[in-house]
Amino acid sequence: MQVKSKRGDEVRLYCDLEEKFEFGELIEISEEDRSVIVQVVDIEQDSELILAGEKGREIVAKIRLEGLGGEHRIYKEWSGWFPSTPMLIKKVKASDVLALDSWRENLPLGRERANEDVFKISPRDLWTLNVVAGIRSDALLGMLATILCLKEYKVAVLDTTGNFIKNLNKVVRERFRVLKLGEDLKLPLSMLNRDFFAIYGWPEPLLTLFDGIHRKHRKSSLRRILMELSLRKDTDMFIDFLDSLSDILTIEENELSLYKYLILDISKYEGPPAFLAALYYLLKPGYRYIFLTNIRSFHVSDIEKLARVFISKRKPVFIDIGVDTELSVLLRYAVNLFFTGPYNRLLEDIFPLLEQEEPLIRRLSSEEFLINGLLTKNIPLILTMLREEDLRGGYALL
């Protein structure tokens, strides 16, 4: 393999016809104790080139990282340096470059496309907002929940479709307690606070009025509070808003049971009731990982505010937006983006947000997904879904 040319962050390589490459594969180009990591984004299959008198192919790659040091290199953001006389060009495993972590345990996320090695990450790399988008994204969400459940982390799934349980294998499915919002579980009236109301843009005078009536009737029902609000002027719309929440609220202030593995079925609700349920579990310290299986039930007037709430809580929240391009604004706030294949034209309008990922997204199959963000040092990486046997034993339970 030889370097043909470099222009900006694009590197073109010659390779023998016998050398096999995969889209998304990583290659290290070294000079003494310094190197760059490039990623294959295109393979010119139809052109046969002359390499040292033999036929060859041209590989198009993008520079992703820079490596410093000898045997145990440290990889960091590319500074613009490039080897003037490359001494060694070789394929490298993503797990050797991107997943170096001294955390006491790591989670298997998927298999590297090129070599089938299991790619593992530390749990703390998931400790903030994660957005799952694309085709069959619910299957990936089910796999992630299964891994975390088998690792004995507390997992709460807010299922807005009622179908999430179907994506779990039988062994894990039996561990979850399934509750229906408004029937098996209701939320305390104290959840109606200023942070929640601010999401919907209610003016300060109404919030002050509500606070006063709420303190006065702290042990009364929401219905009693609504009656007193109705005696004031210009409160009709606010009363309708509160009334939409009445089915899921209770005056009981007793601590709700925090089952270790919970699926809360909120498919009966949308808008403010669905969001209030999500906010409740985001604020509870008992749950480490929160899953929202379909964001379409959250009709919040300003979707950016919703994303900011999730980010500010510094908890790992997985949001499945499927292929709903109207909600692609969430991608701007995602710390980790999971994009499931195959490529679908419904997603074309979000590509401006994913400029460096687009060539790789177009190559995804139905069993693959692309991950980019803190997990991979912002390198778009293609992984294959873990197999059921990986989850039953071996990797997920080590």
In three-state secondary structure terms, 295 is: helix
β-pair partners for 133? 322, 339
Same domain, 146 and 295: yes
Q: Please report which helix (H) or strand (E) contains residue 346, including its range.
A: none
Boundary-marking domain end, from 223, 249, 275: 249
Average pLDDT, the chain: 86
Percent of the chain with pLDDT over 90: 39
Q: How confident is the model at residue 243 (pLDDT cuts 50, 70, 90)?
A: very high
Same domain, 273 and 341: yes
Determine the Cα–Cα distance for residues 151 and 285; give it in Å rounded to an integer.
Answer: 18
Q: Which amino acid is at 246?
A: S
Residue 298 lies in a domain: yes
Same domain, 266 and 373: yes
Same domain, 165 and 211: no
Same domain, 269 and 358: yes
Half-sphere exposure of 239 (CA within 13 A, CB side): 15
Over 90: is that where the pLDDT of 323 sits? no
Q: Please report which helix (H) or strand (E) contains residue 240, including its range.
A: helix 236-243
Average pLDDT for 208-234: 87
pLDDT of residue 395: 41
Q: How confident is the model at residue 61 (pLDDT cuts 50, 70, 90)?
A: very high
pLDDT of residue 256: 64
Phi, psi of 295 (to 5 degrees): -75, -10
pLDDT tens digits, one per residue of 47-60:
566 666 667 889 99
Residue 332 lies in a domain: yes
CB of 148 closer than 8 Å to CB of 107:
yes
Determine the Cα–Cα distance for residues 56 and 10; give it in Å rounded to an integer.
Answer: 19
Same domain, 150 and 274: yes
Q: How confident is the model at residue 394 (pLDDT cuts 50, 70, 90)?
A: very low
Determine the Cα–Cα distance for residues 230 and 238; give it in Å rounded to an integer.
Answer: 10
Q: How confident is the model at residue 236 (pLDDT cuts 50, 70, 90)?
A: very high
Q: How confident is the model at residue 393 (pLDDT cuts 50, 70, 90)?
A: low
- At a CB cut-off of 8 Å and minimum separation 6, what does 95 contact? 112, 117, 118, 119, 120
pLDDT tens digits, one per residue of 121-174:
888 888 889 999 988 888 899 999 999 988 889 999 999 888 888 878 777 888
384: domain CATH number is 3.40.50.300
Q: What is the largest CA-CA distance in the chain?
A: 91
Residue 99 lies in a domain: no
Boundary-marking domain end, from 220, 249, 278: 249
Q: Which amino acid is at 4?
A: K
DSSP-derived pairing of the beta strands 381-384 and 54-68: unpaired
Boundary-marking domain end, from 234, 249, 264: 249
pLDDT tens digits, one per residue of 2-47:
898 999 999 999 888 888 888 999 999 999 899 999 999 998 865 5
Domain hosting residue 239, numbered range? 192-249
pLDDT of residue 305: 83
pLDDT of residue 309: 85
What is the 8-class DSSP label of residue 382? E
pLDDT of residue 45: 64
Which is more confident, 37 or 361?
Answer: 37
Determine the Cα–Cα distance for residues 52 and 322; give it in Å rounded to an integer.
Answer: 48
Average pLDDT for 386-393: 72
Total count of domains within the chain: 3
Same domain, 47 and 166: no
Q: How confident is the model at residue 396 (pLDDT cuts 50, 70, 90)?
A: very low
CB count in 10 Å sphere of residue 8: 8
Residue 290 lies in a domain: yes
Residue 361 lies in a domain: yes
In terms of Cα–Cα distance, which of 139, 127, 45, 128 is closest to 363?
45
Q: Which of 95-109, 129-143, 305-319, 328-342 has the lowest mean pLDDT?
A: 95-109
Residue 97 lies in a domain: no
Over 80: is that where the pLDDT of 247 sits? yes
pLDDT tens digits, one per residue of 368-378:
999 999 889 88
Over 80: is that where the pLDDT of 278 sits? yes
Same domain, 56 and 28: yes
